[in-house]
Amino acid sequence: MSDTLIEVSNVSKIYQRGKMDVPVLESLNLTVDQGDFLALMGPSGSGKTTLLNLIGGLDVPTSGSIRIGSENIDQLSQGQLATWRSRNVGFVFQFYNLLPVLTASKNVELPLLLTGLSGKERKKRAQAALSVVGLEDRANHRPAELSGGQEQRVAIARAIVSDPELLVCDEPTGDLDRTTADEILELIQLLNKDYGKTVLMVTHDPKAADHASHSLHLDKGRLIEAQPA
């Protein structure tokens, strides 16, 4: 028996391109249980990133509602949404988007700058997050001194440093070789299993999807349960 963490009801997303309407998602429904590790697959342009951004509160639906935990995030203002994100969601992207002049530790600290934590406490938590991803000895390295896999680990540490319940990953291994990708996937799996994070991961890689507890297919804006491989 598990609780529902994410409830997407009747969500549509229509982008405006010039005067043209571009419908991407149509009356989409989705529930994700707490502690789940869901892989989202589908052809390019099917709307995976769009859905992920809506659930992560980076964008708002054209219609429909999205409830995460006890919060109806489609009702929040931009500012409220920013605060909500900082407390409840960790993001991992294909491109790590680390700040090149900051050390790994300072990059991980970024989300904590918005909290009332002291500098010392921030540093301590960044260090803890770095040790979860196995990079405690790289804290003072700058991104340029790290490999792609290590950079992605720093990005993951940044995503978990404020201890959010939900982890949203958009093709986290899209830019990595097989071995490194597997290590990252194992790390994400660990965060799901041992740290209880609910994970939503978009991927093109069927092998990556194997790490998830189950997969969904998005096609032309509609969700289909993944066929057993």
Partner 1 sequence: MKFSGLIWAAVYRKPIRSSLTLGSLFVAFLLFGLLHSVSVAFTQGVDFAGVDRLIVAPKYSIIDDIPLNYQRRIAGVDGVELIAYRSWFGGTYQNNKQFFSRWPVPPKEFLDIYPEFIIADEQREAFISTRTGAIVGRDVATAFDLKVGDRMPLIPNIWMNKDNGPWVFDLVGIFDGADESVDTNQMFMSYDFFDEYRTQSQGGVGTFVVRITDPDRTAAIAAEIDAMFANSSDETKTTTEKAYNQMFANQLGDIGFIMTGILSAVFFTILLLTGNTMAQAIRERIPELAILKTVGFSNVTVLILVLCESLLIALLGCIPGLLVASMLMPALSGAVPFFGDVQMTPLIYIQGILLALALGVIVGLPPAVRAMKLNIVDALGEHAA
Ligand X SMILES: Nc1ncnc2c1ncn2[C@@H]1O[C@H](COP(=O)(O)OP(=O)(O)OP(=O)(O)O)[C@@H](O)[C@H]1O
Stretch that binds partner 1, among 2-10, 19-27, 75-83, 126-134 (CB under 8 A): 75-83
Q: Min. distance of Cβ 44 from ligand X in angstroms?
A: 3
Give every CB contact of residue 124 below 8 A, 6+ residues apart in sequence: none
Cα separation, 52 vs 204, whole angstroms = 14
Stretch that binds partner 1, among 21-29, 76-84, 182-190, 203-211 (CB under 8 A): 76-84
Choose, by CB under 6 A, the member of 1, 20, 44, 194 that binds ligand X.
44
Cα separation, 60 vs 14, whole angstroms = 10
Q: Is the distance from CB of 199 to CB of 22 less than 8 angstroms?
A: no
Cα 128 off chain centre by = 20
Stretch that binds partner 1, among 17-25, 28-36, 67-75, 88-96 (CB under 8 A): 88-96
> Looking up tokens 């992920």, which residue turns up?
52
Buried b (16+ CB within 10 A) or exposed e, 99-118: eeeebbbbbbbbbbeeeeee
Is residue 49 a contact point for Mg ion (CB under 5 A)? yes
Choose, by CB under 6 A, the member of 4, 45, 101, 145 that binds ligand X.
45
* Total of residues contacting ligand X (CB under 6 A): 12
Cα separation, 136 vs 204, whole angstroms = 30
Q: In the stretch 12-41, what mask flags binding to ligand X with x, by CB under 6 A?
A: ---x-x----x-x-----------------
Name the binder of 22 from partner 1, ligand X, Mg ion, none, CB < 5-8 A by kind.
Answer: ligand X
Is residue 50 a contact point for Mg ion (CB under 5 A)? no
Is residue 78 a contact point for ligand X (CB under 6 A)? no
The strand pairing partners of 215, in sequence order, are: 39
Q: What's the Cα-to-Cα distance from 42 to each of 7, 80, 131, 134, rounded to whole Å?
A: 20, 31, 34, 31
Which residues lie near partner 1 (CB under 8 A)? 49, 53, 58-59, 78-79, 82-83, 85-87, 91, 93-95, 97, 99-102, 106, 110-111, 113-114, 119, 158
